[in-house]
Amino acid sequence: MNVLSFKGIDIVAVAACVPRNVVDNAAFAKNLYPDEIQLQKIIETIGVTERRVSPPSVCTSDLCFAAADKLLEETGTDRSEIDALIFVSQTPDYRLPATAVVLQYRLGLSKQVVAFDVNLGCSGYVYGLSVAFSFANNQSVRKVLLLVGDTPTKFVSAGDLSASLLFGDCGTATLIEKTNSDKSTYFNLFSDGSGYKSLIINGGGYRNPSSPSSFESITDENGNSRNSEQLYMNGGEIFNFTLREIVKSANQLIASCGTEMGCVDQFVFHQANKFMIDFLCKKMKINPEKFLVSIENYGNTSAASIPLTLVVNRNENAYNQVLMSGFGVGLSWGNCFVKLNRTHILNLIEL
């Protein structure tokens, strides 16, 4: 697909909600890594000092609900004006029905709302925005509520030597509206299913249904133990994919907007891990001050990482021309070049 472009549609507000529970990685992984120096090296490389972990009773939808409720209240939005609700996540409440429909009721939105789920991870915010903008582009749609979040700590094995230190939970809400401003927003989106095994939860779906054996932990040659209903991640393959596709696709988008990287004020990329973020920043020759991060205190929050990064850096930055890039599970990736100079970014919410 070529570039999707929209005019006169704005991101009006962004909110993010994290669980109150802070997990300190050095304390968490003491038993996993008997060698303290090795543990310190891992923590430095992935760049996650602490993360937010939800208790069993809190789902992604609860974090998104809290973010959306506060956003609608703080922006004084009339709930009856929301015409579409999109929930992007890999951790829905139920296998069915769609969480978006449950949230329509819970948020007190009209029955006229179009509500549906999108199953995407690290690329999910950019994809979700493109869907929200497409709805908002229609004359009969007034406002679109995009809820993006994940609670990956629920599907990662505590015996996974690197993934168990990497992920954090977060739910976000973004309000998109037709404003008829002169702002243009651009997207490019990609998929490569040949890499679907690089990040996968193999069991518990309909291809490999839950069974007693799907909950049996197996230890691999590197000492990681996990069962087939927990996340498997091939870090090397994901890194290779990122280097191969992300820089190229981001450059393509910026070129097709008729601008150049020097005109981008802030870069907000998926917070995969610190090593990867730093390397992308260096490879793209970006001033690190413009390359925003949230990984140190919140970890990799999957689909929520881009809006969470906007929220936690709000006080230090006057957002303007922002390049977002989401990439990962699928494999799926996409970029968005958008102007956020009038976007209201709420303070971080804790639940």
To another protein, the closest distance from the beta carbon of 283 in angstroms equals: 8
Contacts to another protein from residues 216-275, by CB under 8 A = 222, 234-237, 239-240, 243-244, 275
Query: Is residue 45 part of the contact set for another protein (CB under 8 A)?
Result: yes
Query: Is residue 5 part of the contact set for another protein (CB under 8 A)?
Result: no
Stretch in the footprint of another protein (CB under 8 A) among 28-36, 38-46, 69-77, 109-117 = 38-46
How many residues line the site for another protein (CB under 8 A)?
Answer: 18
Nearer to another protein, 100 or 161 (CB): 161
Within 8 A by CB and 6+ apart from 81, the residues are: 142, 143
Strands 82-88 and 114-118: parallel
Separation between Cα atoms, residue 76 and residue 60, nearest integer Å: 24
Query: Is residue 159 part of the contact set for another protein (CB under 8 A)?
Result: no
Radius of gyration over every alpha carbon of the chain, rounded to an integer in angstroms: 19
To another protein, the closest distance from the beta carbon of 273 in angstroms equals: 9
What x/- string results for residues 110 through 149 when contact with another protein is judged by CB under 8 A? ----------------------------------------
To another protein, the closest distance from the beta carbon of 38 in angstroms equals: 9
Sign of the torsion angle spanned by Cα atoms 46, 48, 52, 56: positive
Separation between Cα atoms, residue 20 and residue 53, nearest integer Å: 8
- The residues facing 117 across adjacent strands are 87
Instruction: Please state the separation of Cα 88 from the chain's center in Å.
Output: 9
Tokens of 214: 């799907």
To another protein, the closest distance from the beta carbon of 250 in angstroms equals: 16
Tokens of 249: 């696709």
Query: Is residue 297 part of the contact set for another protein (CB under 8 A)?
Result: no
DSSP states of 12-30 as a string?
A: EEEEEEE-S-EEEHHHHTT
Q: Contact, 299 vs 99, CB < 8 A?
A: no
Nearer to another protein, 20 or 197 (CB): 197
To another protein, the closest distance from the beta carbon of 282 in angstroms equals: 8
Interface residue list for another protein (CB under 8 A):
41-42, 45, 161-162, 222, 234-237, 239-240, 243-244, 275-276, 279, 283
